[in-house]
Amino acid sequence: MSESTMPSVNAEFGATPAIEFPTETAPAGLKSVEIVEGDGPVVRKGDTVTVNYHGVVWGKQTPFDSSFERHQPASFGIGVGQVIKGWDQTVPGHNVGSRLVVSIPPEYGYGSRGVPQAGIGGGDTLVFVIDIISTR
């Protein structure tokens, strides 16, 4: 996979993400790039992870959901089906302190129905910037 197909994001842990899209078309499949490598403990499946995240539909700037904008990190079980598959498959294995950018096609996100009230269509690829704050 070429990094150039993925959005570029400011490599500053904790800063509100600024996302630039290289193309109008999202890459196929689930893609994840570690922008900042943390030096904290590794997140494992079954952990409760605390993150800040910023989610946009591919090609759009306005987030459909952003804990950065709420100034309120989110905590949940990872790798156990509490969040969308794209998160369960990409967050474990990264260290606390890492910033990830993840491109999530519908089959790893909200499926063919999307989430219309959030402006997510059934064919939309989602992009999340995820800062891993802690894990336990």
What CATH number is given to the structural domain containing 114? 3.10.50.40
Overall domain count for the chain: 1
- Tens of pLDDT, residues 2-43: 556 999 999 999 999 999 999 999 999 999 999 999 999 999
Helical H segments across 11-124, by residue range: 67-70, 85-90
Cβ atoms of residues 119 and 94 within 8 Å? no
Burial 23-35 (b: 16+ CB within 10 A, else e): eeebbeebbbbbb
- Model-level pTM? 0.96
E-assigned strand segments in 5-91: 8-9, 19-20, 31-36, 48-57, 65-66, 74-77
121: containing domain: 3-135
Is the pLDDT at 1 greater than 50? The verdict is: no
What 3-state DSSP class applies to 66? strand
